[in-house]
Amino acid sequence: MKRKYKLIAIDMDGTLLQSDKTIHKDSVRDIQDAVDAGLSIVYCTGRALSEMQSYFAILPMVRYAVCYSGAIVYDCLEKKYLRRMEIEQKYIRKLTETAKKYKAMLHFMTVEESIVAASDITHMDDFHMSVYQDLFLKVAKRVDDMEEEGKRYDSIAKINIYFRSPEERSQGYEELKQLPLVIAFAEETGLEMTAADVTKAAGLKQLTEYLYIPISQTVGIGDADNDKDMLHTVGFSVAMGNADEELKEACDFVTADNDHNGVGKAIRHILSIEED
Protein backbone atom coordinates (compact mmCIF):
# COMPACT_ATOMS: atom_id res chain seq x y z
CA MET A 1 0.00 0.00 0.00
CA LYS A 2 1.40 3.38 -1.04
CA ARG A 3 0.18 6.05 1.35
CA LYS A 4 -0.73 9.52 0.16
CA TYR A 5 0.70 11.45 3.11
CA LYS A 6 4.27 11.36 4.39
CA LEU A 7 4.28 13.73 7.39
CA ILE A 8 1.85 14.61 10.19
CA ALA A 9 2.30 17.86 12.12
CA ILE A 10 0.61 17.79 15.51
CA ASP A 11 -0.18 20.68 17.83
CA MET A 12 0.29 19.99 21.54
CA ASP A 13 -2.05 21.86 23.91
CA GLY A 14 -5.67 21.00 23.16
CA THR A 15 -4.55 18.43 20.57
CA LEU A 16 -1.90 15.88 21.53
CA LEU A 17 -2.17 16.76 25.23
CA GLN A 18 -5.23 15.89 27.25
CA SER A 19 -6.85 18.46 29.54
CA ASP A 20 -4.51 17.39 32.35
CA LYS A 21 -1.50 17.95 30.03
CA THR A 22 -0.67 14.26 29.73
CA ILE A 23 -0.51 12.19 26.53
CA HIS A 24 -3.13 9.46 26.14
CA LYS A 25 -1.43 6.06 26.13
CA ASP A 26 -3.27 5.11 22.95
CA SER A 27 -1.91 8.22 21.23
CA VAL A 28 1.61 6.94 21.94
CA ARG A 29 0.72 3.62 20.31
CA ASP A 30 -0.87 5.26 17.27
CA ILE A 31 2.07 7.61 16.76
CA GLN A 32 4.45 4.65 16.89
CA ASP A 33 2.28 2.86 14.31
CA ALA A 34 2.54 5.87 12.00
CA VAL A 35 6.32 6.01 12.36
CA ASP A 36 6.55 2.26 11.74
CA ALA A 37 4.53 2.83 8.55
CA GLY A 38 7.14 5.32 7.35
CA LEU A 39 5.52 8.64 8.24
CA SER A 40 7.33 11.49 9.95
CA ILE A 41 5.56 12.84 13.03
CA VAL A 42 6.36 16.44 13.96
CA TYR A 43 5.44 18.59 16.95
CA CYS A 44 3.94 21.88 15.74
CA THR A 45 3.43 23.96 18.85
CA GLY A 46 3.67 27.31 20.54
CA ARG A 47 5.59 25.74 23.41
CA ALA A 48 9.22 26.37 24.27
CA LEU A 49 11.75 23.55 24.20
CA SER A 50 12.08 23.75 27.98
CA GLU A 51 8.35 22.98 28.24
CA MET A 52 8.59 19.93 25.98
CA GLN A 53 11.43 17.89 27.49
CA SER A 54 9.25 15.47 29.44
CA TYR A 55 7.25 14.68 26.30
CA PHE A 56 10.41 13.98 24.30
CA ALA A 57 11.04 11.10 26.68
CA ILE A 58 7.53 9.71 26.14
CA LEU A 59 7.71 10.03 22.34
CA PRO A 60 11.34 9.35 21.38
CA MET A 61 10.18 8.40 17.88
CA VAL A 62 9.23 12.05 17.15
CA ARG A 63 12.43 13.61 15.80
CA TYR A 64 11.46 17.16 14.77
CA ALA A 65 9.73 20.05 16.51
CA VAL A 66 8.32 23.23 15.01
CA CYS A 67 8.09 25.15 18.28
CA TYR A 68 7.76 28.68 19.63
CA SER A 69 4.93 29.00 17.06
CA GLY A 70 7.43 28.47 14.24
CA ALA A 71 10.29 30.67 15.44
CA ILE A 72 12.40 27.58 16.08
CA VAL A 73 12.62 24.35 14.09
CA TYR A 74 14.54 21.78 16.10
CA ASP A 75 16.07 18.38 15.49
CA CYS A 76 15.40 16.54 18.75
CA LEU A 77 17.79 13.71 17.89
CA GLU A 78 20.85 15.76 16.93
CA LYS A 79 19.85 18.62 19.27
CA LYS A 80 20.36 21.34 16.68
CA TYR A 81 18.37 24.28 15.32
CA LEU A 82 17.20 24.17 11.71
CA ARG A 83 15.50 27.58 11.92
CA ARG A 84 15.81 30.42 14.41
CA MET A 85 14.00 33.78 14.09
CA GLU A 86 13.59 36.02 17.13
CA ILE A 87 11.99 39.25 18.36
CA GLU A 88 14.45 42.15 18.46
CA GLN A 89 15.24 44.12 21.62
CA LYS A 90 13.36 47.28 20.55
CA TYR A 91 10.11 45.29 20.39
CA ILE A 92 10.83 43.44 23.62
CA ARG A 93 10.76 46.82 25.34
CA LYS A 94 7.36 47.75 23.87
CA LEU A 95 5.79 44.42 24.80
CA THR A 96 7.14 44.74 28.33
CA GLU A 97 5.64 48.24 28.66
CA THR A 98 2.23 47.02 27.52
CA ALA A 99 2.24 44.10 29.95
CA LYS A 100 3.19 46.47 32.76
CA LYS A 101 0.42 48.92 31.85
CA TYR A 102 -2.27 46.25 32.17
CA LYS A 103 -0.64 44.45 35.12
CA ALA A 104 -0.58 41.42 32.89
CA MET A 105 1.61 38.32 33.14
CA LEU A 106 4.63 38.54 30.84
CA HIS A 107 6.28 35.35 29.63
CA PHE A 108 9.64 35.27 27.82
CA MET A 109 10.47 32.11 25.86
CA THR A 110 14.16 32.06 24.99
CA VAL A 111 15.79 29.08 23.31
CA GLU A 112 17.22 28.07 26.68
CA GLU A 113 14.55 29.07 29.20
CA SER A 114 10.93 29.86 29.96
CA ILE A 115 10.92 33.02 32.13
CA VAL A 116 8.18 34.62 34.26
CA ALA A 117 7.91 36.92 37.25
CA ALA A 118 7.96 35.09 40.58
CA SER A 119 5.07 37.25 41.75
CA ASP A 120 2.84 36.15 38.83
CA ILE A 121 3.40 32.41 39.05
CA THR A 122 1.75 32.27 42.48
CA HIS A 123 -1.62 33.51 41.20
CA MET A 124 -1.89 32.38 37.60
CA ASP A 125 -5.65 32.00 37.99
CA ASP A 126 -5.82 35.81 37.79
CA PHE A 127 -4.67 35.44 34.17
CA HIS A 128 -6.86 32.38 33.42
CA MET A 129 -3.72 30.23 33.22
CA SER A 130 -3.98 28.06 36.32
CA VAL A 131 -3.96 24.87 34.23
CA TYR A 132 -0.31 25.66 33.39
CA GLN A 133 0.80 26.50 36.92
CA ASP A 134 2.37 23.11 37.63
CA LEU A 135 4.31 23.28 34.38
CA PHE A 136 5.62 26.77 35.14
CA LEU A 137 6.60 25.74 38.64
CA LYS A 138 8.60 22.85 37.20
CA VAL A 139 10.36 24.48 34.25
CA ALA A 140 10.19 28.28 34.45
CA LYS A 141 12.96 30.56 35.60
CA ARG A 142 11.41 32.98 38.11
CA VAL A 143 12.71 36.54 38.30
CA ASP A 144 11.86 39.59 40.36
CA ASP A 145 11.66 42.13 37.54
CA MET A 146 10.69 41.18 33.99
CA GLU A 147 11.49 44.65 32.69
CA GLU A 148 15.10 44.33 33.84
CA GLU A 149 15.24 40.73 32.65
CA GLY A 150 14.13 41.78 29.17
CA LYS A 151 17.06 44.19 28.87
CA ARG A 152 19.49 41.25 29.12
CA TYR A 153 18.58 39.87 25.69
CA ASP A 154 19.33 41.08 22.19
CA SER A 155 16.45 38.93 20.98
CA ILE A 156 13.85 36.46 22.30
CA ALA A 157 12.21 33.64 20.35
CA LYS A 158 8.66 34.22 21.59
CA ILE A 159 6.87 36.47 24.07
CA ASN A 160 3.43 35.88 25.58
CA ILE A 161 1.27 38.34 27.51
CA TYR A 162 -1.58 36.93 29.59
CA PHE A 163 -4.12 39.61 30.46
CA ARG A 164 -6.65 39.61 33.27
CA SER A 165 -9.67 39.60 30.94
CA PRO A 166 -10.52 39.15 27.24
CA GLU A 167 -11.46 42.85 27.15
CA GLU A 168 -8.00 43.94 28.32
CA ARG A 169 -6.43 41.55 25.83
CA SER A 170 -8.36 43.26 23.04
CA GLN A 171 -7.19 46.66 24.26
CA GLY A 172 -3.61 45.46 24.42
CA TYR A 173 -3.86 44.01 20.95
CA GLU A 174 -5.04 47.34 19.54
CA GLU A 175 -1.94 48.98 21.01
CA LEU A 176 0.43 46.36 19.64
CA LYS A 177 -1.02 45.39 16.28
CA GLN A 178 1.00 47.95 14.33
CA LEU A 179 4.29 46.39 15.39
CA PRO A 180 6.03 44.28 12.71
CA LEU A 181 5.37 41.10 14.68
CA VAL A 182 3.08 38.13 14.26
CA ILE A 183 0.43 38.32 17.00
CA ALA A 184 -2.01 35.49 17.74
CA PHE A 185 -4.79 35.14 20.29
CA ALA A 186 -4.20 32.18 22.61
CA GLU A 187 -5.87 30.62 25.65
CA GLU A 188 -8.64 32.75 27.21
CA THR A 189 -6.74 36.01 27.62
CA GLY A 190 -3.35 35.57 25.98
CA LEU A 191 -1.46 37.16 23.12
CA GLU A 192 1.46 35.29 21.55
CA MET A 193 4.12 37.33 19.78
CA THR A 194 6.81 36.15 17.38
CA ALA A 195 9.04 37.91 14.87
CA ALA A 196 7.72 39.04 11.49
CA ASP A 197 6.95 36.17 9.10
CA VAL A 198 7.13 33.61 11.91
CA THR A 199 4.19 31.23 11.86
CA LYS A 200 3.69 27.53 12.40
CA ALA A 201 3.06 27.25 8.65
CA ALA A 202 6.35 28.96 7.75
CA GLY A 203 8.30 26.77 10.16
CA LEU A 204 6.63 23.65 8.85
CA LYS A 205 7.33 24.63 5.25
CA GLN A 206 11.01 25.05 6.03
CA LEU A 207 11.09 21.64 7.69
CA THR A 208 9.33 19.93 4.77
CA GLU A 209 11.84 21.47 2.36
CA TYR A 210 14.67 20.20 4.57
CA LEU A 211 13.12 16.72 4.50
CA TYR A 212 12.27 16.89 0.77
CA ILE A 213 8.59 16.25 1.46
CA PRO A 214 6.08 18.22 -0.68
CA ILE A 215 3.72 20.28 1.48
CA SER A 216 0.85 18.62 -0.42
CA GLN A 217 1.86 15.33 1.23
CA THR A 218 1.56 16.68 4.78
CA VAL A 219 -1.20 16.57 7.37
CA GLY A 220 -1.85 19.05 10.17
CA ILE A 221 -3.83 18.41 13.36
CA GLY A 222 -4.88 21.31 15.59
CA ASP A 223 -7.57 22.90 17.67
CA ALA A 224 -7.07 26.65 18.00
CA ASP A 225 -6.65 30.04 16.36
CA ASN A 226 -2.87 29.77 16.29
CA ASP A 227 -3.16 26.54 14.26
CA LYS A 228 -5.17 28.06 11.41
CA ASP A 229 -2.27 29.07 9.18
CA MET A 230 -0.73 25.61 9.52
CA LEU A 231 -4.03 23.88 8.79
CA HIS A 232 -4.63 26.06 5.73
CA THR A 233 -1.15 25.20 4.39
CA VAL A 234 -0.96 21.41 4.71
CA GLY A 235 -2.31 18.97 2.17
CA PHE A 236 -4.89 17.54 4.57
CA SER A 237 -6.23 19.36 7.62
CA VAL A 238 -7.69 17.82 10.79
CA ALA A 239 -9.64 19.68 13.47
CA MET A 240 -9.92 18.28 16.97
CA GLY A 241 -13.38 17.56 18.35
CA ASN A 242 -12.78 20.29 20.95
CA ALA A 243 -12.02 22.94 18.28
CA ASP A 244 -14.55 25.68 17.58
CA GLU A 245 -17.10 25.21 14.81
CA GLU A 246 -15.42 27.67 12.46
CA LEU A 247 -12.18 25.70 12.52
CA LYS A 248 -14.00 22.39 12.09
CA GLU A 249 -15.83 23.68 9.03
CA ALA A 250 -12.56 24.81 7.45
CA CYS A 251 -10.84 21.42 7.84
CA ASP A 252 -10.94 18.24 5.77
CA PHE A 253 -11.61 15.93 8.71
CA VAL A 254 -12.88 16.28 12.28
CA THR A 255 -11.57 13.81 14.83
CA ALA A 256 -12.40 13.07 18.47
CA ASP A 257 -11.47 15.53 21.23
CA ASN A 258 -8.13 15.70 23.00
CA ASP A 259 -9.35 13.67 25.99
CA HIS A 260 -10.44 10.75 23.78
CA ASN A 261 -7.37 10.14 21.61
CA GLY A 262 -8.45 12.41 18.79
CA VAL A 263 -4.88 12.39 17.48
CA GLY A 264 -4.89 8.60 17.29
CA LYS A 265 -8.21 8.50 15.47
CA ALA A 266 -6.88 11.01 12.95
CA ILE A 267 -3.67 9.02 12.45
CA ARG A 268 -5.61 5.83 11.79
CA HIS A 269 -7.71 7.68 9.21
CA ILE A 270 -4.61 9.09 7.51
CA LEU A 271 -2.97 5.67 7.35
CA SER A 272 -6.04 4.36 5.51
CA ILE A 273 -5.72 6.90 2.68
CA GLU A 274 -3.90 5.49 -0.37
CA GLU A 275 -2.05 7.52 -2.98
CA ASP A 276 -4.19 8.37 -6.02
Distance from C-alpha of 206 to C-alpha of 211, rounded to nearest angstrom: 9
Q: 171, 164 in Cβ contact below 8 A? A: no
Q: pLDDT 10s per residue in the chain (276 long)? A: 688 999 999 999 999 999 999 999 999 999 999 999 999 999 999 999 999 999 999 999 999 999 999 999 999 999 999 999 999 999 999 999 999 999 999 999 999 999 999 999 999 999 999 999 999 999 999 999 999 999 999 999 999 999 999 999 999 999 999 999 999 998 999 999 999 999 999 999 999 999 999 999 999 999 998 899 999 999 999 999 999 999 999 999 999 999 999 999 999 999 998 876
Q: What is the pLDDT of residue 1?
A: 64
- Using only C-alpha atoms, the chain has a radius of gyration, in whole angstroms, of 18
Q: Is residue 120 part of a domain?
A: yes
Q: Is residue 1 part of a domain?
A: no
Same-domain status, 240 and 267: yes
Q: 108, 48 in Cβ contact below 8 A? A: no
> Crossing angle, helix 166-176 and helix 89-101, to 10 degrees?
150
Same-domain status, 182 and 127: yes
Same-domain status, 19 and 33: yes
Residue 214: C-alpha distances to residues 6, 190, 222 (Å): 9, 33, 20
Same-domain status, 159 and 204: no
Same-domain status, 22 and 75: yes
User: How many structural domains is the chain composed of?
Assistant: 2
Of 180, 195, 210, at which residue does a domain stop? 195
Q: What is the pLDDT of residue 69?
A: 93
Same-domain status, 204 and 70: yes
Structural domain harbouring 246:
7-84+198-271
CA 250 from chain centre, in angstroms, equals 20
